[in-house]
């Protein structure tokens, strides 16, 4: 491995692992009544707490690196949000204490908001991190798939990725795999050195606990399985159904929230991930794709936009040079691009 990125990968893994710990703690407090009332405050607490923890870790380890993240503390600091702010601080304190924070360390709302706002970068530079503290907020609230996604971008290329999926089942198939599937995964990748998954149960540097990821080798489109978003507002599901029909795919789509879909392709659970534009003027946010894109590519997959262009991370917070995203196992990629083009999807631009 390129020694230059060994520390970056270690820091990224630790950061998303701590954030996942906070997210699980918040999720454990969600009551059936809150779900019934569609109360979004738990995901708000987890979102801000996750970003605070990760941005603090990055600021300590790499103080010169900007962070382009999804959240800022403006809403959290409003007086009417004092109860939510207090819950964020409580959960951040709890995780920092478990992680061996400094004795007597003062963690108050001002400090937590400062850590959140360390993620306020917005302009492209030669080296920066991008973070989605909770990708898949509705999945989080439903107790289904969500992710904590962190990636390092250098000279416009994603070079390090860490993706924590607290509700993802993992089967390592090693002597460390205690009785089959375990809940909670860390997916990780360094450019040029493959993608791996390990169980998110504790800090562990034992490489034998990690399993290398490989995409499927399926070459016949009709036998493929498509992965797409649960929410129709995130991807044009009717267009995806048309692509599937054009390719002769009859298997129902695998629907899940978050960048766990990239992981599904990376581990061969799905062969194609479609995120097709829902409107002509929409551009994807970089934090929704950076980590997952590298993991899928390092597992042997191909990631482009709907026109077959590589994703460009040179333009700040959005993928302004791209439209939509297509991820495949590789052998199927050109067939999917041809189907999208032949159906006229995205032709309105």
Reply yes or no on whether 137 is catalytic: yes
> How many CA atoms does the CB half-sphere of 317 hold within 13 Å?
11
Q: Out of 57, 137, 304, 328, which one is annotated catalytic? A: 137
Report angle CA 347, 243, 219 to the nearest 5 degrees.
125
Distances (CA, A) of 141 to 38, 137, 148: 9, 6, 14
d(CA 266, CA 262): 6
Q: Which helix (H) or strand (E) is 129 found in, with range?
A: strand 127-135
Cite the DSSP H helix spans in the chain: 6-28, 32-36, 41-61, 82-98, 109-117, 137-142, 237-247, 260-266, 290-298, 333-342
Q: Indicate the length of the chain as a whole number.
A: 349
CA atoms of 323 and 329, how far apart (whole Å)? 20
- Are the beta carbons of 145 and 229 closer than 8 angstroms? no
Active site residues: 47, 137
């Amino acid at each position: 491995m390129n020694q230059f990125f060994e520390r970056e990968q270690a820091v990224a893994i630790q950061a998303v692992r701590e954030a996942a710990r906070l997210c699980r703690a918040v999720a454990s407090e969600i009551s059936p009544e809150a779900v019934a009332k569609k109360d979004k405050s738990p995901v708000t607490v987890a979102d801000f707490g996750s970003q605070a923890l990760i941005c603090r870790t990055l600021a300590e380890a790499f103080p010169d690196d900007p962070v382009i993240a999804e959240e800022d503390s403006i809403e959290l600091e409003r007086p009417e949000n004092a109860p939510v702010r207090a819950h964020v601080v409580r959960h951040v304190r709890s995780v920092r204490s478990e992680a061996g924070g400094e004795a007597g360390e003062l963690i108050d709302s001002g400090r937590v908001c400062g850590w959140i706002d360390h993620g306020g970068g917005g302009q492209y530079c030669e080296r920066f991190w991008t973070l989605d503290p909770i990708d898949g907020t509705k999945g989080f609230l439903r107790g289904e798939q969500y992710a904590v996604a962190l990636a390092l971008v250098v000279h416009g290329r994603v070079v390090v990725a860490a993706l924590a999926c607290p509700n993802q089942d993992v089967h390592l198939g090693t002597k460390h795999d205690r009785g089959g599937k375990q809940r909670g995964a860390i997916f990780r990748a360094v450019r040029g050195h493959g993608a791996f998954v390990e169980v998110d149960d504790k800090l562990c540097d034992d490489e034998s606990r990690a399993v290398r990821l490989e995409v499927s080798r399926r070459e016949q489109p009709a036998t493929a399985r498509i992965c797409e978003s649960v929410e129709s507002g995130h991807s044009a599901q009717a267009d995806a159904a048309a692509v599937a029909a054009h390719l002769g795919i009859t298997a129902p789509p695998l629907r899940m929230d978050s960048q766990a879909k990239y992981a599904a392709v990376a581990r061969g659970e799905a062969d194609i991930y479609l995120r097709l534009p829902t409107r002509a003027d929409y551009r994807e946010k970089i934090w929704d794709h950076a980590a997952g894109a590298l993991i899928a590519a390092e597992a042997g997959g191909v990631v482009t936009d709907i026109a077959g262009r590589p994703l460009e991370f040179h333009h700040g917070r959005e993928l302004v040079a791209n439209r939509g995203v297509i991820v495949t196992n590789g052998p199927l990629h050109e067939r999917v691009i041809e189907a999208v083009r032949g159906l006229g999807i995205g032709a309105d631009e």
